[in-house]
Amino acid sequence: MHNCGLTEGRRYDFGRHLHTLGLQGRHLAEVFPEPGRQYRDVLQRIEKQDRPLSRWTPAPTHRDFTPEHLYWHDDQLTGLDFDEFCQYDPLFDVGHFMAHLRLMSLCHPGAAPGLNHVAQRFQAAYEAGAENYSPPRVRLYQAMTYLKLAYVVGVVERPGNWRGLVTALVHEADQLAGEDVT
């Protein structure tokens, strides 16, 4: 889909993405102040990457691609997801998907080795076929997705272990944020 050439459709941009993350971070800080402060610090480091990120060309993007959008039938795997379809950086889908796999491994520690392997294979396969692959951009989008997931887990879903998950997700974002994406 990323290379299909389609140029029409709703457009999304990095500034709007950062605005949404900022709102979510404020809500998270209301319910869990310490990770909320770290979230804000990470987001400020991510915001500094705006200029280098302006160099990519928008292309068709899922924008919310997760393992939930994968369907198995016999030996065939199909990915289907168009509800958030827009023109954005295709590498966002890669970082977003990998962050969701990491959340799954945090929720199911016994499955972590297998999920980590799937993430590595997914990233390697995508990189092999991509025209303009950028590991730093993928890591930045992972960091942004970890922040979004911290909000979803800590404010929206609130599973039994939400505090530990939020802390881990903000820590993951902190490890990846602020790298030079040029």
Residue indicated by tokens 């987001």: 43
CA distances from residue 170 to 28, 115, 157, 164 in whole angstroms, order as listed: 11, 20, 16, 10
Q: Residue 157: its pLDDT value, please? A: 93
Q: Residue 123: its pLDDT value, please? A: 94
Domain boundaries, the chain: 14-176
Q: Residue 82: its pLDDT value, please? A: 63
Give the 3-state secondary structure percentages of the chain, helix then strand then coil, rounded to 5.
Answer: 65, 10, 25
pLDDT, one tens digit per residue, over 77-121 is: 666 666 667 788 889 889 998 999 999 999 999 999 988 998 999
Q: Report CA 141 to chain centroid distance, whole Å.
A: 5
H helical segments located in 108-161 = 112-129, 135-151
Within 13 Å and on the Cβ side, how many CA atoms surround 1?
20
In this prediction, residue 25 has a pLDDT band, given cuts at 50, 70 and 90, of: very high
Selected from 1.10.287.3510, 3.90.1200.10, 3.40.30.10, 3.40.1160.10, the CATH number assigned to the domain covering 14-176 reads 3.90.1200.10
